[in-house]
Amino acid sequence: MSADELNVVLLVTTAVLLGCLAAVRLLSGAGLPSLLVFLCVGLAIGESGLGLDFEDAGLTQVLGSVALAVILAEGGFTTDLRVVRPVGWLAAVMATVGVFVSVAVTSGVVYLVLDVDVRTAVLLGAVVSSTDAAAVFAVLRRMPVKGRLRAVLEAESGFNDPPVIILVTVVTSSAWTDAGVVGVGGQIVYQLVVGALVGVAVAWAGQWLLGRSALPSAGLYPLATVALTLLAFAVAGVAGASPFLAVYVAGLTLGNARLPHRGATTGFVESLAWLAQIGLFVLLGLLASPSRLPDALPTALVVGGVLTFLARPLSVLVSATPFRMPWREQAFVSWAGLRGAVPIVLATIPMAVGLPGAERVFDVVFVLVVVFTLVQGPTLPWVARRLGVAEPASPRDVAIESAPLDDLGATLVQFSVGAGSRIAGVEVAELRLPPGSVVSLVLRGGEVFVPGTATVLRAGDHALVVTTRAGREPVEERLRAVSRAGRLAGWYDAVLATRAQESAGR
């Protein structure tokens, strides 16, 4: 490639990237996933637009898998385990039992209504039955919806990819005729269990290493964290387990661990995930052929209608009823099962192996994702209000990150006082930090000063605490307690614990 050709490639690439970022800004308040715009960008620069001819389904599948790994890692990293833990079993049931109910219902109706064979019907049902992590994260994290419902949907979207991927792989391979139900079920159980174990093991080892290492640059910590999640992806793949579950679990574990430079890592992971989403959707748009899409619309409406209005509600009903989820919450979870990159990437698997009718399946799935995301995404806030599951956002936590200082045997802990944090209005002395810890600097309004014991902290302040290595965790716990309950946090927490014990005794 000559220098001129390289300049043209860079010009087009950066123009596409900046255009996609502008689309994110313009559509952020519309409740519409900007990922659809990325698909349209891919279509615009493809064979029917600027004329870029791209038909490599195999390359799309490989690059799409890597992009999905990054997206899932970010989704796990930015998910609060304290919120997910209470709904973990429900999300797991929805990601397994619920998925198979959805596949069975969709495949059955498609086979009866449309003129397709059993294999194509099962393939269509399997490909579209997985909710998409990128779409769910992009929409729900901007919505004031109950934290429990958001946690269920996010965890489900992270957990339900492996069973569907296994099923699609079986349907598109010779195992469709060779493997029995027991064999497929055993593969699924093995991949899920081993994938989860690999994710936890790699994350724990990585947490131990990062917490005891002083890397020469703060920018190396985010890079190391992302590398650990992708290491879990690779190890699980080599072990024949689910790499997607492994990378999500690794991200979830690391994201809820006490890591150095957490704030910088979070920003880096989020940026990388956005880049992966943009690249993935533009690539999928390039692979699609606009001239074939109108013919796929009737079939896409049938499959999508069955999935959205019958299969998805039934799968939620079967999965959530044993957990006593109210019908209003079930209705919202059903409507919020968004589809996105995952079904389209899965639709490239039969294309890559040359399965008859694979292009038709890809076109149907592509149109289905676009149409039903346009219908469901913008209406989610209205549905949440009508069902009574919306709630106002009320941030209470404090942003904390720390960095080890090996030569001094100390740790720097940085915290920011958010608008809803009860640290605002508290004097430095009233923080009552552990012995050996001191608030050394405060940044306020662009000015840095050394606070006194009577300095009152304000919303928007950024403060730096110097503590011993052993004192880092107590300092972070104390800051979070004061952020939740104010200057009387210790007394307040003790009163709540006493009341809880008294209630339990009754």
Residue 291: closest CA among 47, 21, 32: 47
Round to whole Å and give the CA distance between 273 and 77: 11
Domain ranges in the chain with CATH number 3.30.70.1450: 399-505
The two three-digit tokens of residue 403, written as one number: 């960095």
The two three-digit tokens of residue 501, written as one number: 């014990």
What percentage of the chain has pLDDT greater than the value 90? 18
Round to whole Å and give the CA distance between 447 and 459: 15
The two three-digit tokens of residue 382, written as one number: 């209205």
CATH classification (class only), 3-387: mainly alpha
- C-beta of residue 129 within 8 angstroms of C-beta of residue 339: no
- Among the listed ranges 87-91, 353-357, 438-442, 444-448, which one has the minimum average pLDDT value? 353-357
The two three-digit tokens of residue 305, written as one number: 């209608």
Round to whole Å and give the CA distance between 62 and 349: 10
Mean pLDDT throughout 472-485?
86
pLDDT at 225 over 80: yes
Instruction: Please provide the average confidence, as pLDDT, over all residues in the chain.
Output: 82
Say which residue, 168 or 146, is predicted with more confidence. 168
Rg (CA), the chain: 25
- Residue 392 pLDDT: 59
pLDDT at 394 over 50: no
pLDDT at 496 over 60: no
Mean pLDDT throughout 178-192?
73
The two three-digit tokens of residue 17, written as one number: 């990237």
Per CATH, the architecture of 399-505 is what? 2-Layer Sandwich (3.30)
Residue 19 exposed, middle or buried by CB count within 10 Å (0-12, 13-18, 19+): middle
- Tell me 115's DSSP state: S
Secondary structure (3-state) at 453:
coil
- Residue 177 pLDDT: 66
Say which residue, 263 or 400, is predicted with more confidence. 263
Q: Which residues of 275-312 are buried (b: 16+ CB within 10 A; e: fewer)?
A: ebbbbbbbbbbbbbbeeebeebeebbebbbebbbeebb
Mean pLDDT throughout 338-366?
84
Round to whole Å and give the CA distance between 285 and 26: 20
Beta bridge partners of 411: 404, 467
Residue 78: closest CA among 281, 248, 245, 332: 248
Region of 357 (left: φ > 0; alpha: ψ -120 to 50; beta: rest) is: left
What percentage of the chain has pLDDT greater than the value 70? 86
pLDDT at 407 over 80: no
Handedness of CA 97, 361, 170, 245 (dihedral sign): negative
Q: What is the pLDDT of residues 94-128, one digit of tens each?
A: 988 999 999 999 999 999 988 888 888 888 898 88
The two three-digit tokens of residue 204, written as one number: 């724990």
pLDDT at 1 over 70: no
- Residue 346 pLDDT: 85
Round to whole Å and give the CA distance between 244 and 196: 9
H/E element, 58: helix 57-77
Beta bridge partners of 469: none
Residues 6+ apart with CB under 8 A from 475: 413, 433, 434, 437, 465, 467
- C-beta of residue 95 within 8 angstroms of C-beta of residue 163: yes
Mean pLDDT throughout 483-491?
77
- C-beta of residue 429 within 8 angstroms of C-beta of residue 453: yes
Say which residue, 365 or 410, is predicted with more confidence. 365
- Tell me 390's DSSP state: B
Residue type at position 374: L
- Tell me 95's DSSP state: I
Domain ranges in the chain with CATH number 1.20.1530.20: 3-387
- Among the listed ranges 135-144, 234-243, 396-405, which one has the minimum average pLDDT value? 396-405
Q: Name, of 98-107, 408-417, 490-499, the range with top average pLDDT.
A: 98-107
Mean pLDDT throughout 210-226?
81
pLDDT at 498 over 50: no
- C-beta of residue 147 within 8 angstroms of C-beta of residue 83: yes
Maximum separation of any 2 CA atoms in the chain, in Å: 80
Residue 83 exposed, middle or buried by CB count within 10 Å (0-12, 13-18, 19+): middle
Round to whole Å and give the CA distance between 436 and 434: 6
pLDDT at 491 over 60: no
Q: What is the pLDDT of residues 201-212, one digit of tens each?
A: 999 999 888 877
Mean pLDDT throughout 224-232?
93
Q: Which pTM value belongs to this model?
A: 0.72
Q: What is the pLDDT of residues 7-62, one digit of tens each?
A: 877 887 888 788 777 776 666 555 456 677 788 888 888 776 677 777 788 888 88
